[in-house]
Amino acid sequence: MSAPAGVSGGLTRFRIDLSYDGTDFAGWAKQPNLRTVQGELLRALTEILGKSSEDFYMRVGGRTDAGVHADHQVCHIDLSDAQLKRIGRNPLSPSRINSLLPTDISVLAVQLAKPGFDARFSAIGRSYVYAIADSECAPNPKWVRYTLTHPRLLSVEKMNSAAKKLIGLKDFGAFCKPREGATTIRELKKLTVKREKDGRILVFVSADAFCHNMVRALVGALMAAGEGKLSPTELAKLQQAAKRTSAFKVVGPQGLSLSEIRYPAASQLAKQAEKARNIRSSEEISV
Amino acid sequence: MSAPAGVSGGLTRFRIDLSYDGTDFAGWAKQPNLRTVQGELLRALTEILGKSSEDFYMRVGGRTDAGVHADHQVCHIDLSDAQLKRIGRNPLSPSRINSLLPTDISVLAVQLAKPGFDARFSAIGRSYVYAIADSECAPNPKWVRYTLTHPRLLSVEKMNSAAKKLIGLKDFGAFCKPREGATTIRELKKLTVKREKDGRILVFVSADAFCHNMVRALVGALMAAGEGKLSPTELAKLQQAAKRTSAFKVVGPQGLSLSEIRYPAASQLAKQAEKARNIRSSEEISV
């Protein structure tokens, strides 16, 4: 295997796919004295591979905030030859890592990364789903941990009408926590709303990348539209003003799940990674 | 409304449909100093209706053990005229009761019971689903609370072959905790095994009623069959012997969910209740 882009010689990159229930985590990113997904994963990997002062050079495709779930998250690690030897005869399989993880994290797949693959910089898109139980829908205890309960009725039709105004390459400053020097321009590829058979409303969101709290602000805006408090035209104007507003709320994390990180074909992985590094520090902020 | 069967005059019977995540409950039945589903429900009803020394004469269709879930449970309560008055102008709606319940219980419907309805004695069948994640299936944190994790591969084909031997009106003494003077004869109407798209194995079980731990013993027997440790013929012999055996285990409660309580047509409710009362104390024991 040729050395992966962005990794110094002698390191071998592995791609790790995983899912987690974010309820009891203070988000993805490792933090001292807090229970985080990355912290738990690093602890399990350290048990197999020994201590790594550089955290195995782990990078993640979609960093998630406290309480946000992931049906499908992707990260990578870079291992030295000495660490590779410690894997021993048993492969670095999902079941081996899962046996060392709590039940609210599950590794789905571990594989040698393709040349040029970078979990964060090779990604070309992220998709999220947000689940809401409005007054039409009796809350089900089996999914209530993954769903926002809303005490009033929401019109899916009105939510979809509003959503159409936001699709495209736009400045999402009205939906982002401002960060100095960072662009708030993103390409929103998908924003659709559907009522499931079980009564829940699901909001599907895809973009090249998201700025901090953007998905939860978009959902808050659609909910205001769904209650008739905000017309599609008013929402379009707020987007164009590109300034934070009190016309809608940033909704809670419990309804939000990362559902997919998209990567290009193998031949484009390195090229995409280089492009993303140069354009902006893609998805370095929590969603 | 005419007085419901089995209720003295002046009481009005309500049917309550509900679901719960059994993980953090010590089962359905009220117990001092323990968190139970009935205990929480009685507490919420007491807040609306005032104290009831008789626990509103509550009876349940399928009493569940500690850790067992219910996608659909049915119980009834009988209210005096004084209690009815306390309901006030707002109906005794699911949302009103749910606002007083923890999120791991959800009331789905509240309705005036049809004449002759008894949540326990009118029931003609109970259905359960048991979920297993074997080694074929990566555990998903979103359903791991509702699923038994099994470290080895199970053959769905072998499980179904074994299941066929157990269908019918039989003595299930090999699958029941013995209780003095109680029959272990039940009519097992359905026992089928299916692998879902998400990789999990689901066992569907229906009977007129179940004895204590019967579903979990049936699933344990099918799992032994699925691993090739028990042939269908051997299982049939164990059933015929009708004695407790160490050839299979009673599996844990986390994979088990009550999915349905079946009642006959309105005209048969009272007749069925009378029949069940006379034959045996139907479903008074925990599953």
B31-85 pLDDT per residue, tens: 999 999 999 999 999 999 998 889 999 999 999 999 999 999 999 999 999 999 9
In the prediction, which pLDDT does B279 show?
A: 65
Contacts of A247 (CB under 8 A, 6+ apart): A221, A224, A229, A230, A234, A238
Closest Cβ–Cβ partner in B21, B109, B139 for A141:
B21
Residues B266-272 have a mean pLDDT of 89
Q: How confident is the model at residue B111 (pLDDT cuts 50, 70, 90)?
A: very high
What are the φ and ψ backbone dihedral angles of A254, each rounded to 5 degrees? -60, -25
For position B134, what pLDDT does the model report? Answer: 95
| A93-101 average pLDDT score | 93
| pLDDT over 70 at A175, yes or no | yes
**Is A208 a known active-site residue?**
no
**Residue A197 near chain B (CB below 8 Å):** no
Whether pLDDT at A138 is above 90: no
Tokens standing for residue A268: 């484009």
Chain B, 119 to 138: residues with Cβ < 8 Å from chain A are 135, 138
pLDDT at A57: 96
Q: What is the per-residue pLDDT across B126-154, written as a single tens digit (0 to 9) for each?
A: 999 999 999 998 888 999 899 999 999 99
Q: Which of A17, A21, A55, A65 is catalytic?
A: A65
pLDDT at A6 over 60: no
**From CA A274, how far away is CA A6, in angstroms rounded?**
9
Instruction: Name the pLDDT band for B6 (thresholds 50, 70, 90).
Output: very low
Which one is predicted more confidently, A223 or A284?
A: A223
What would the pLDDT profile of A259-285 be if each residue is shown by its tens digit? 999 999 988 898 888 888 776 554 545
Taking the C-alpha atoms of residue A145 and residue A24, their distance in angstroms, rounded to an integer, is: 10
Number of H helices, E strands in chain B: 7, 10
Structure tokens at A6: 């962005």
What is the set of domains in chain B, with CATH numbers? 11-122+264-279 (3.30.70.580), 125-259 (3.30.70.660)
- Residue A49 burial (CB < 10 Å; 0-12/13-18/19+)? buried
Average pLDDT, chain A: 91
Q: Is the model more confident about A183 or about B192?
A: B192
Whether chain A has a CB inside 8 Å of the CB on B281: the answer is no
Q: What is the pLDDT of residue B53?
A: 86
> CB of B146 within 8 Å of any CB in chain A?
yes
Give exposure, A208-235, as e/b (b: 16+ Cβ within 10 Å). Answer: bbbbbbbbbbbbbbbbbbbbeebebebb
CB pairs < 8 Å spanning A and B: 66
A98 touches chain B (CB under 8 A): yes
CB contact under 8 A, B106 and A138: yes
Q: Is B2 exposed, middle or buried (0-12, 13-18, 19+ CB in 10 A)?
A: exposed
Q: Which of B17, B19, B21 has its CA nearest to residue B142?
A: B21
Distance, in Å, from the CA atom of A89 to the CA atom of A248, rounded to the nearest integer, reads 55
Q: Does B2 score more than 50 pLDDT?
A: no
What pLDDT sits at residue A156? 98
Tens digits of per-residue pLDDT, A186-213? 999 999 999 999 899 999 999 999 998 9
Contacts of A151 in chain B (CB under 8 A): 95
Q: How far is the alpha carbon of A18 from chain B, nearest alpha carbon, in Å?
A: 9
Q: Which residues, in sequence order, are bridge partners of residue A18? A: A73, A107
Q: pTM, whole model, 2 decimals?
A: 0.83
